Amino acid sequence: MRHALALATARVLAAAARRRGGGATSLPGLAALKLDPGFIRRRSRRLAGSVVVTGTNGKTTTARFLGAAFGAAGRSVVHNQSGSNLLRGIASTLAAARLPSSGRKPWGVLEVDEATVPGACRELRPRVVVVTNLFRDQLDRYGELKRTAEYLRTGLASLPKSSTVVLNADDPLVASLGKGLKCRVRYYGIEDVSRSRPSLPHAADAVSDPKSGALLRYEAVFVGHLGHYRGTSLRRPKPQVRLTAFRTGGAVEVRSGRQTVGLTLKLPGTYNAYNALAALAAAEAAGIDVAKAAEAVSATTAAFGRQESVEVGGRAVRIGLIKNPTGADEVIRTLAEAPGKKRILVLINDNFADGRDVSWLWDTDFETLRGRTERIAVGGLRGRDMALRLKYAGFPTGDLPRYGSVEEALREELRQVPEGGTLDVLPTYTAMLELRRTLAQAGHVKHFLD
Amino acid sequence: MHLRIAHLYPRRMSIYGDRGNVTTLVRRARWRDIAVSVDEVEREDALEAKRYDLFFFGGGQDQEQDTVARDLAKKGPGIREAIRGGAAALAVCGGYQLFGRYYQPAEADRLAGIGIFDAHTEAGPRRFIGNVTATPEADGLGGIPLVGFENHSGLTFLGGTARPLAVVRTGHGNNGHDKTEGCVAGSAVGTYLHGSLLPKNPHLADWLLLRALRRRHTDLPGLRPLDDALEQDVNESLAGRAA
């Protein structure tokens, strides 16, 4: 009874929000949880099972890959792709989904904020939890990286034997979460070292052995502190799902057990290879054939703001979300490695959802873009800080264009792009939402993804 | 002229963009045609402290801070000697705490500091997180606001002989009680301000540079002014936003 009332209330609120022109919000879920604190637990019984996707970077893309894999296996999914990744957002998503009491049940693919993992594990009892990586992000909210790891440890420790935890073997902090769990643990990682970088980037964290304090030794570094490491008390676990070869044109070879599958990733960058591996390992843990999952991942394009390209009046606007130094470094490196000089617009906000602290800009290697830009401009609430960062990265900033509003920045910078050209926009999270709104108002993209 | 900087424990103690302070010192020296070298010093490295004109020591997470505190028992005396001999220093957050007398965590053994500052730190019940604007007290900073971002749960208390770096206008500073922020001893500055701090506070960057250079060039009259319009704009907008 309480549950039915909670569900009805959430749906009425969601419908009202839609009429006002908004999209999925956390309000319906918040109301549902108020009326029925067990709402998620009860509602999730109508799912065949759920996969929780968590970690600092790559949640959205991994979940998107995973959704495609379930689709290829003939299973429908419920995914909180445009909602929040806190409990209230999950509740909103579950309230909005049509979950009939009979027939084939859909799977839940739920992105979950790291601090929400204990609650999500308790309420959802997920069949699979996949952890992508732990980087320095939003530290102003959580305090320290190790505290974030503690949230995950608490959540994972509560999982029953029948669950599977899928961990990134190449992230020492994430891999260490696999110790002492009741449930099954699977690791994924990159074996082919041909794309590794010579040393750890400035943005790397968690580089010392938890027991001895000695710095970890790396034989290969792929992204941030992800790579082949060895400490005095810890060692990289051998991954069961592993990328064995990078080939040209986004093609990669992945092995799981004795099975070898080929993928062609539409999304650039080593970090997207990690997202694909995470999705394959999680799909396999959910009972999907790896070859089928690989095919689906190969056909998947970018989620909004994750290297997605939008056409605007014969010009492309390519959006690469930046929100922390490691993620931003990878977006920048991928951009710098593409041929030709770029036109770049960096939009930095410091709203709550972005993290109020912009000091991460100084841990990010904007220097990589030097000599590779035709033009660079800045905007957002902290556009000034970004201009300053570029000055100290060695860019001439005397006449650097600096904009107040996202709309103005986009309009003016697009004017500088010749027909057929590309404007690369690097926004923080809330700047990306503003950008999306601006593009939607001009009719270039839909308002929300669902 | 040549400036030698030691960056203490950059792999373990460099979060919240503290590296940007070193970038800023290097750039501002090179823009004035002063050669600069930066040596990164880890636990695994030997430190010949008396070679250096300036030490930079950033913030870190608890485990790293613990490792570093142990190593400082060895390297500390040399660093203290160098600073007493006129070297400049900037220590931020965790580095600031270890440049004090000690840091007492909530549930772990006390970490000994190296006593550059007459100050000690105790774990506090909550975390101070947010933008800070403070008015400097130290001579030579012209009263121009210092702006930055604090993120700490340690509470630092200054001893009787210690001088604060600044008085907090917005934010919490050393301990949230006495309105002080940071500490100055000779040419050494300790502070809780990240941000990075120096790019948006070029007056403090130059204060440190001048003192560092005067260690070996005692007759240096001053530094050539730079075009700091952008730096001042950022400083003023943050100070204004806080007001």
Is residue B168 within a helix (H) or strand (E), and if so which, with residue range?
strand B166-170
Q: Tell me, what's the pLDDT at A417?
A: 96
Does residue A179 fall inside a structural domain? yes
Q: What is the pLDDT of residues A370-414, one digit of tens each?
A: 999 999 999 999 999 999 999 999 999 888 999 989 999 999 999
Say if CB B146 and CB B204 are below 8 A apart: yes
Please judge whether B64 and A391 are an interchain contact, meaning their C-beta atoms are less than 8 angstroms apart: no
The domain that contains A430 carries what CATH number? 3.90.190.20
Residues in chain A: 450
Residue of higher predicted confidence among A446 and B151:
B151
Q: Tell me, what's the pLDDT at A280?
A: 98
Question: B-chain residues within 8 Å CB-CB of A143?
Answer: 127, 151, 153
Question: B-chain residues within 8 Å CB-CB of A384?
Answer: 230, 233-234, 237
Q: What is the pLDDT of residues B21-77, one digit of tens each?
A: 999 999 999 999 999 999 999 998 999 999 999 999 998 887 788 889 999 999 999
Q: How far apart are CA A326 and CA A274, in angstroms?
A: 14
Q: Tell me, what's the pLDDT at A415?
A: 95
* Domain boundary pick from A247, A273, A298: A298
**DSSP-assigned states of every residue in A242-270:** EEEEE-GGGEEEEEETTEEEEEE-SS-SH
**Which of A136, A362, A387 is nearest residue B196 as measured by Cβ atoms?**
A362
A198-212, A226-240, A243-257: range with lowest mean pLDDT = A198-212
Nearest residue in B to A351, CA atom: B130
Nearest residue in B to A393, CA atom: B23
ipTM: 0.96
Q: What is the pLDDT of residues B157-186, one digit of tens each?
A: 999 999 999 999 999 999 999 999 999 999
How many CA atoms does the CB half-sphere of B145 hold within 13 Å?
Answer: 22
* Domain boundary pick from A298, A317, A346: A298
Does residue A447 fall inside a structural domain? no
**Which of B67, B127, B237 is nearest residue A143 as measured by Cβ atoms?**
B127
Q: Tell me, what's the pLDDT at A24?
A: 55
Does residue A405 fall inside a structural domain? yes
Q: Same domain for A203 and A265?
A: yes
Mean pLDDT across chain A: 91
Mutation to test the A interface, candidates B30, B74, B230, B238, most A Cβ within 10 Å? B230
Q: Same domain for A278 and A357?
A: no
Is the minimum CB–CB distance between A361 and chain B shorter than 8 Å? yes
Does residue A220 fall inside a structural domain? yes
Residue of higher predicted confidence among A384 and A1:
A384
What pairs with residue B191 in β-bridges?
B92
Please judge whether A361 and B127 are an interchain contact, meaning their C-beta atoms are less than 8 angstroms apart: no
Does residue A203 fall inside a structural domain? yes
Q: How far apart are CA A373 and CA A395, in angstroms?
A: 10
* CATH for the stretch B2-242: 3.40.50.880
Does residue A30 fall inside a structural domain? yes
Please judge whether B17 and A144 are an interchain contact, meaning their C-beta atoms are less than 8 angstroms apart: no
Does residue A450 fall inside a structural domain? no
Q: Is the pLDDT of residue A449 over 50?
A: no
Residue of higher predicted confidence among A143 and A302:
A302
Question: A-chain residues within 8 Å CB-CB of B11?
Answer: 200, 204, 207-208, 215
Q: Same domain for A289 and A311?
A: no
Q: Tell me, what's the pLDDT at A450?
A: 34
Residue positions of B annotated with a catalytic role? 93, 194
The domain that contains A240 carries what CATH number? 3.40.1190.10
Q: Same domain for A244 and A374?
A: no
Number of folded domains that form chain A:
2
**Which of B43, B61, B231 is nearest residue A144 as measured by Cβ atoms?**
B61
Q: How far apart are CA A66 and CA A296, in angstroms?
A: 9
Is the minimum CB–CB distance between A215 and chain B shorter than 8 Å? yes
Question: B-chain residues within 8 Å CB-CB of A391?
Answer: 230
* Domain boundary pick from A280, A298, A316: A298
Please judge whether A384 and B233 are an interchain contact, meaning their C-beta atoms are less than 8 angstroms apart: yes
Q: What is the pLDDT of residues A172-191, one digit of tens each?
A: 999 999 999 999 999 999 99
Percent helix, strand, coil in chain A, to 5, is: 40, 20, 40
CB pairs under 8 A between A and B: 103
Please judge whether B15 and A205 are an interchain contact, meaning their C-beta atoms are less than 8 angstroms apart: yes
Task: Give the mean pLDDT of A272-300.
Answer: 96
Distance, in angstroms, between A426 CA and closest chain B CA? 19
Distance, in angstroms, between B161 CA and closest chain A CA? 32
Q: Same domain for A160 and A240?
A: yes
Please judge whether B199 and A208 are an interchain contact, meaning their C-beta atoms are less than 8 angstroms apart: no
Q: Same domain for A280 and A328?
A: no
Nearest residue in B to A400, CA atom: B230
Q: Same domain for A290 and A343?
A: no
Q: Is the pLDDT of residue B7 over 50?
A: yes
pTM of the model: 0.86
Distance, in angstroms, between B150 CA and closest chain A CA? 9
Distance, in angstroms, between A411 CA and closest chain B CA? 24
Q: Tell me, what's the pLDDT at A448?
A: 47
Q: Same domain for A366 and A270?
A: no
Q: How far apart are CA B91 and CA B154, in angstroms?
A: 15
Q: Same domain for A140 and A188?
A: yes
CA dihedral A264, A56, A105, A73 (to 10 degrees): 10
Please judge whether B14 and A202 are an interchain contact, meaning their C-beta atoms are less than 8 angstroms apart: yes
Q: Same domain for A15 and A134?
A: yes
Task: Give the mean pLDDT of B97-112.
Answer: 94
Q: What is the pLDDT of residues A254-265, one digit of tens each?
A: 999 899 999 999
Q: Is the pLDDT of residue B132 over 60?
A: yes
What residue ranges do the domains of chain B occupy?
Answer: 2-242
Does residue A53 fall inside a structural domain? yes
Look up the domain containing A335 and give its range: 306-441
Residues 6 or more apart in contact with residue B172 via CB below 8 angstroms: B128, B130, B132, B150
Q: Same domain for A265 and A412?
A: no
Q: Same domain for A250 and A358?
A: no
Distance, in angstroms, between B92 CA and closest chain A CA? 13
Q: Is the pLDDT of residue A209 over 60?
A: yes
